[in-house]
Structure 1
Amino acid sequence: MSASWSSDSLGVSTSSQPVGAWRGGKLPLTLPGLMGGLLGIGGLITLLLLWWLGTDVLASSEGFIRQFSPTTAIPKLAAMLAGPDLPVHIMVSLRRVLVGLGFALLIGVPLGLAVGSYARLNIATSPAFQFLRMISPLSWMPIAVMVFGVGDNPIYFMLAFAAVWPILLNTAEGVRRLQPSWLSLADSLAATRWETLWHVILPGVLGHVLTGLRLAIGIVWIVLVPCEMLGVSAGLGYFILDTRDRLAYSELMATVLMIGILGFMLDAGARALYQAATRSHAA
């Protein structure tokens, strides 16, 4: 099976060794914590300045684009977070993301373990998996609504469909990269299949599973908003349509900003979980 969703092919290193070079010298991917944090904050401040310049400074005083400026969106976001509506929509969207990812893990991890363990199964399923994963999850929207009805169920289906492929393929790649000596040692100790799976295979592929989960979170968060624009009465996608219909453009921009903040936090949480699991496995 093509590992086109694997951590290596997507530029996510699963090794703790620094890589890269600069004029013959080593250039680690991870800078010291303080310097890395300052650079990250500097990048966010630069993005905020560009947003402000484009919507406040360079825009005409009567321009429509001024309604989307940070000077109106950020105060509006603070006010909305203190109000009753936006927190409800946030919780609804996060619940849908967690359910969709849960289904994707329940399906993707066992299938990935099986596909990575048996070469014939890998050969038999590879064309079907590659075909299915190239179908946009949003293209299933009309069919999902007809099958599951209006509400949360079609959203769960589309989110799980979007998230399952990076989890499945990364898990399978993790199984293929297991050290043969680990399996040989388990055999020499007369370990059962369950003991080998629980004590050798699962800890060995955990890093790949978490890498797939992080990729899945990014995909799901992108797919979620358009999914919530059809047939539901709550969620961040629904709220964007609601603000548009009310011509509340500052609220619309504040909601877009909130989506970016939540997505950033979800990715940071997945990255921290991966690093914690890697350190625990190395110890």
Structure 2
Amino acid sequence: MPVSSRLNSLPATIAHVAWPLCGLLLAVALWWLAIHGLGRDSLMAARFSPERTWLAMLELASGQDIWLHALASLQRVGFGLLIALLIGVPLGLLAGSCATFNRLTSTTFQFLRMISPLSWMPLAVMTLGVGEAPVVFLIAFAAVWPIVLNVASGIKAIDPLWLTLAASLGANAGERLWHVTVPAIAAHLLTGIRLAIGLIWVVLVPAEMLGVNAGLGYFILDTRDRMAYGELMACVLFIGLLGFALDWLTRLAHQRWSGA
């Protein structure tokens, strides 16, 4: 029986795990083949082999360095996302509810959204100096646009009859905002947060090369300078695992809220 048929014949829960696991095993097999097959004559390629990376991952997981760097990165992600929410949610509410404001700002927002956050790195360093401030700025800049656009989309998707009904029941503006608007846009906001985290995770590593002394981006530079290539590859995989976990949590929150 073909492998695909066997997987399809498994119970749904097991098959849900089996398919991704097979995909991961295939990716590792291709990685091993690339190193020991195509790159067998390269001493540098051998330093990035799955075996060395696995040993390095076990060593890093048993220590505290990688966890301290991850904590520093997550703190920056949290601060940047908080700033993006504080800016993006009000702007999204205005853009979705006020046609004049939307016409005035939509082109500007779309223009700024298309500028790579990393292109602001020199300006961020010149104006904010090196350290935490430019990193948080770049993270917030990357995260704010998905939040603005999704909140505005959520506002536009609200059935006007809901607001009319709330007003007819005597609800004031604050009550309509809290009891009608906020629940209606929550799923859109969670979608914006999920997209924002994806962009943040792309920006985070190069942003942490701006003079900070902790973080996953800093740790990658440190392993390169120490020529600890097994640790470097292990850190790359750890970044992927941590980013996947954050995306899974936001996806789970979205599913719980939307009832999907």
Regarding TM over 0.5, the answer is: yes
| Structure 1 runs of 4+ with >4 Å offset | none
Instruction: State the match for 2:7 in structure 1.
Output: none
Partner of 1:69: 49
Aligned to 1:251: 231
Determine the structure 1 residue equivalent to 2:148.
168
1:210 to 190, 194, 216: 190
Residue identity in the other structure for 1:100: G
- State whether residues 121 and 207 of structure 2, in contact with CA within 8 Å, keep that contact through their aligned partners in structure 1: yes
1:96 counterpart = 2:71: no
Q: Which moved more, 1:230-239 or 1:56-65?
A: 56-65
Asked if 1:122 corresponds to 2:117, the answer is no
Distance in 2 between residues matched to 1:234 and 1:177, nearest whole Å = 43
Assess if the C-alpha contact under 8 Å between 2:47 and 2:229 holds in 1.
Answer: yes
Name the CA distance, whole Å, in 2 between partners of 1:36 and 1:156: 37
| Number of equivalent positions | 250
In structure 2, what is the equivalent of residue 233 of structure 1? 213
Q: Pick from 111, 131, 143 the counterpart of residue 151 of structure 1.
A: 131
Which letter maps to 1:102?
Answer: L
Q: Shift in Å at residue 124 of structure 1?
A: 0.5
Take 2:12 and 2:104, find their aligned partners in 1: how far apart are those partners?
46
CA contact under 8 A between 2:135 and 2:210: conserved in structure 1?
no
1:110 aligns with 2:120: no
Change (3 A) 1:34 1:57: same
Aligned to 2:6: none
Matched AA of 1:162: A
| Structure 2 residue 49 is matched with structure 1 residue 79 | no
Distance in 1 (CA, whole Å) between partners of 2:248 and 2:152 is 24
Amino acid at match of 1:135: I
How far apart are 1:35 and its partner, in Å?
2.5
Asked if 1 retains the 8 angstrom alpha-carbon contact of 2:125 and 2:210, the reply is no
Q: What CA distance in whole angstroms lies between the structure 1 residues aligned with 2:38 and 2:17? A: 30
| C-alpha distance in 2 between matches for 1:32 and 1:122 | 46
**Counterpart pick for 1:183 among 160, 163, 174:** 163
More helix by share: 2
TM-superposed CA distance for 1:149, in Å, is: 1.8
Determine if contact 2:53/2:233 at 8 Å carries over to the other structure: yes
SS, match of residue 247 in structure 1: coil
Once the two structures are TM-superposed, the CA of residue 184 in structure 1 deviates from its matched residue by 1.7
Work out which of the residue numbers 105, 118, 135 in structure 1 matches 2:115: 135
What TM-score results when the alignment is normalised by the length of structure 2? 0.92
Structure 1 unaligned segments of length 5 or more: list them.
Answer: 1-30
**Structure 2: which amino acid aligns with 1:59?**
G
Give 1:59 shift: 2.9
Displacement of 1:120 after TM fit?
Answer: 0.9
Aligned Cα root-mean-square deviation (Å): 1.6
Could you state the TM-score of these two structures normalised by the residue count of structure 1? 0.85
Q: Look up the equivalent residue of 1:92 and give its one-letter code.
A: A
- Does residue 1:42 correspond to 2:22, yes or no? yes
2:155 partner letter: V
Between the aligned residues of both structures, percent identity stands at 53
